[in-house]
Structure 1
Amino acid sequence: MSFTWPWMLLGLVAVPLLVVAYRAQQRRRDARRDGLAAIGLVPVGGIPGSDRSPHAATVSGTAAPRRPRRDRLRHLAPVLMLAALTVLLVSLARPTASVAEPRREGTVVLAFDISTSMAAKDISPTRLEAAKAAARTFVQRQPSDIRIGVVAFGDSALVSQQPTEDRTQVLGAINRLTPQGATAVGRGIVSSLSAIAGKPIEVGSEPGAADQVEIGYYRSAAIVLLSDGENTTDPDPLEIADLASAAGVKIYTIGVGSTQGTVLQVDGFQISTALDEASLRKISQTTGGTYYAAADSSSLSRVYGSIDLAWTARTQEREVTSWFATAAAVLLLLGAGVSVLRSGRVV
């Protein structure tokens, strides 16, 4: 625990001074009461608020005054009020404490195919722009407890935005994407898993290499893969999908393009390209995810509902002045109540 205004704690010096003053006052009261008892002037009912027995002395003078029975609750009310004052003085210093706040969290990585084929115009204005539009709609609909990252893959893959709750950074990373290179869907999934795990993950290109990789378990994470599905480079996307499935990560594939295909002009060459829905469906089915068409951007909101969010506890530094003030008020009311019940007055 720390304090915003620690100098206010100097007020606690008054607490021991009040204790000394209270004990001195009690000694004077006891001495006066003993003197009255010695000459037989203690009334039958006792002195109001006294800790003496009503039969502490006799008026005959033949019997010596008996020491009265102690009232164990005599000091309870002053102690409660002194504790209330102490807690209230501490609250004036504005205490802060690290508080664990439970919340539900999840991570979604948007993996974009930025290969040259994504410049095709069989979806207006282009495949990549359609994918970016669907992703922007998805990002804007997500609740604040979902962290979103962005991965771009062509013939290689990189994490262009680590998972974050800052939607501005995510949208900025999406807007900067441009088409180039070949298509390595497997590498895109590997980089997405790296972003989820928070550490680099390496998978070789030889068959079965993914079976040798252990990355942990992330049931509250998902990958949204936006691609035309035309993979041209190792590793095999289905093998990497098996790795994602073993890690508890579902992959939701978004088909971008038309199954009829189109012809794309690249550096004077004509390249035929079409949406490979079959490959994208296999990837999603392997991990327990779902396949969607890019034009059906509204259905992407169901991705969030399919994520198994995990309960976590985040430690936050919070001012707890109100807690101390409430405790002081409770102690003060208890002290006043005890005092009224014993003597009919608060002090």
Structure 2
Amino acid sequence: MNLPVLGPLPLSGFTHIWFFLFLFVVAGLVFLYFWIQRSRKARLARFADSEMIGSVAPKPQSRWHHLPPALVAVALVMFTIAMAGPALDRKIPRNRAVVMLVMDVSTSMDATDVSPSRMKAAQEAAKKFADELTPGVNLGLISFAANPTMLSSPTTNHEATKVAIDKMQVAERTATGEAIFAALQAISTVGAVIGGGDEPPPARIVLFSDGKETSPGNPDNPRGAFTAARAAKDQGIPISTIAFGTPDGTVKVDNADVPVPVDDTTMKQVAQLSGGTSYLAQDAPQLDQIYKTLQDQIGYETVRGDASTGWLRLGALVLAIAAISALVINRRLPL
């Protein structure tokens, strides 16, 4: 059972939902209260004639005398919610996750359809991502063109990753599958030495590229991108892909403008096969927003915790207010 919100934080469900049956008891008590009130008025009308009623009947009570019983009913509802075991999803920073940033440095990344160039914009956004990533996450960097290059092994020292990002240089060809396999190997290696749990640390690959794989030509080849994505799926490591660029990108080759339009078809398929999510960015602000989304997904984990204490405290507070208002308004406790 999912109910909406308690203040700004969403309730994620209840552990003991059957306690809500107690609300029928609360409803019965409310009905009994109003029945008693009507019965009192009926007895008064039966035993006092119209001439004597003014001298015999007590003075009409203010509607405020119903406030204490109403507050008691509200407190009972809050106690019922507490007994039902409300749960609350809380986001806490990860401290043993592994993230491999795998970045395309093929020649097409020199295109200037994104100012000042795809490569420069990608480097700045990646460094900002490293800056804002949760400190406890192990971040590594692989660049790839014809071959993958490990520029920074997974580490919580994100400054080292930022330094490595600045060292990336463009080269020919795009071996996406080889880069993914290299990232899987790096995750496996660091996972073997990271303590703090009986299972391997949670891991994610962030694959950044502007075009389809060119080496090998068929992504279903043994070292192709689709084969690597299936391997990532088998290891429980999703790949978040970012296709970066516009359809109008060009690069200079022998003084001629060669079109290098962004191609996110391969990237979408890689994400789908691995169980990840694909994104498309055509300018630097869009890329920054995607990295912020990934930072939120990767840097934090959602933990379900007990939220009954707040309801108990609130119920006790309302019950205390009911007692005080009963003494002030009715000169007695609401019993």
SS at match of 1:121: coil
Q: Quick one: structure 1 residues 308 and 141, their matched pair in 2 at CA, closer, same or farther if it must change by over 3 Å?
A: closer
CA apart distance, 1:178: 1.4
Of residues 95, 98, 117, the one that matches 1:104 is 95
Which residue in the other structure is 1:193 paired with? Answer: 184
Q: TM-score, normalised by structure 1?
A: 0.51
CA apart distance, 1:179: 0.9
Contact 2:211 2:243 in 1 (8 A): yes
Contact 1:218 1:247 in 2 (8 A): no
Contact 1:183 1:232 in 2 (8 A): yes
Where does structure 1 lack aligned partners over 5 or more consecutive residues?
Answer: 1-102, 200-216, 311-347
- Which structure 2 residues correspond to residues 19-30 of structure 1 after superposition, within 5 A? none
Verify: 1:231 aligned to 2:213, yes or no. yes
In the aligned structure 2, how far is the partner of 1:218 from the partner of 1:303? 21
SS at match of 2:99: strand
- Which structure 2 residues correspond to residues 81-230 of structure 1 after superposition, within 5 A? 104-198=95-189, 220-230=202-212
In the aligned structure 2, how far is the partner of 1:180 from the partner of 1:156? 9
Find the structure with the greater CA-based Rg: 1
- State the Cα deviation string for residues 270-301 of structure 1 (Å, max 9, x = none): 43211111211111122222222343212323
In the aligned structure 2, how far is the partner of 1:224 from the partner of 1:155? 19
- How many residues align? The count is 190
Where does structure 2 lack aligned partners over 5 or more consecutive residues?
Answer: 1-93, 191-198, 217-222, 302-335
State the AA in 2 paired with 1:280. M
SS at match of 2:96: strand
Contact 2:212 2:265 in 1 (8 A): no
CA apart distance, 1:131: 1.3
Which residue in the other structure is 2:252 paired with? Answer: 265
In the aligned structure 1, how far is the partner of 2:102 from the partner of 2:162? 13
In the aligned structure 2, how far is the partner of 1:274 from the partner of 1:171? 28
Contact 1:219 1:247 in 2 (8 A): no
Contact 1:115 1:182 in 2 (8 A): yes
CA apart distance, 1:160: 0.9
Which residue in the other structure is 1:290 paired with? Answer: 277
Verify: 1:254 aligned to 2:254, yes or no. no
State the AA in 1 paired with 2:252. Q
In the aligned structure 2, how far is the partner of 1:267 from the partner of 1:182? 17
In the aligned structure 2, how far is the partner of 1:104 from the partner of 1:117? 36
Contact 1:130 1:256 in 2 (8 A): no
In the aligned structure 1, how far is the partner of 2:296 from the partner of 2:273? 19
In the aligned structure 2, how far is the partner of 1:219 from the partner of 1:261? 41
State the AA in 1 paired with 2:258. I
In the aligned structure 2, how far is the partner of 1:219 from the partner of 1:233? 31
Bigger helix fraction? 2
- State the Cα deviation string for residues 46-86 of structure 1 (Å, max 9, x = none): xxxxxxxxxxxxxxxxxxxxxxxxxxxxxxxxxxxxxxxxx
CA apart distance, 1:104: 3.5
Give RMSD over aligned pairs: 2.2
Q: Quick one: structure 1 residues 287 and 168, their matched pair in 2 at CA, closer, same or farther if it must change by over 3 Å?
A: same
State the AA in 2 paired with 1:176. K
Contact 2:209 2:243 in 1 (8 A): yes
Q: TM-score, normalised by structure 2?
A: 0.53
Which residue in the other structure is 2:329 paired with? Answer: none
Q: Quick one: structure 1 residues 182 and 223, their matched pair in 2 at CA, closer, same or farther if it must change by over 3 Å?
A: same
In the aligned structure 2, how far is the partner of 1:246 from the partner of 1:305? 24
Of residues 236, 240, 243, the one that matches 2:231 is 243
SS at match of 1:104: coil
Identity %: 30
Contact 1:106 1:309 in 2 (8 A): no
State the AA in 2 paired with 1:257. G
In the aligned structure 2, how far is the partner of 1:231 from the partner of 1:261? 19
Verify: 1:306 aligned to 2:297, yes or no. yes
State the AA in 2 paired with 1:128. M
In the aligned structure 2, how far is the partner of 1:219 from the partner of 1:301? 22
CA apart distance, 1:263: 2.6
Which residue in the other structure is 1:59 paired with? Answer: none
In the aligned structure 1, how far is the partner of 2:258 from the partner of 2:189? 37
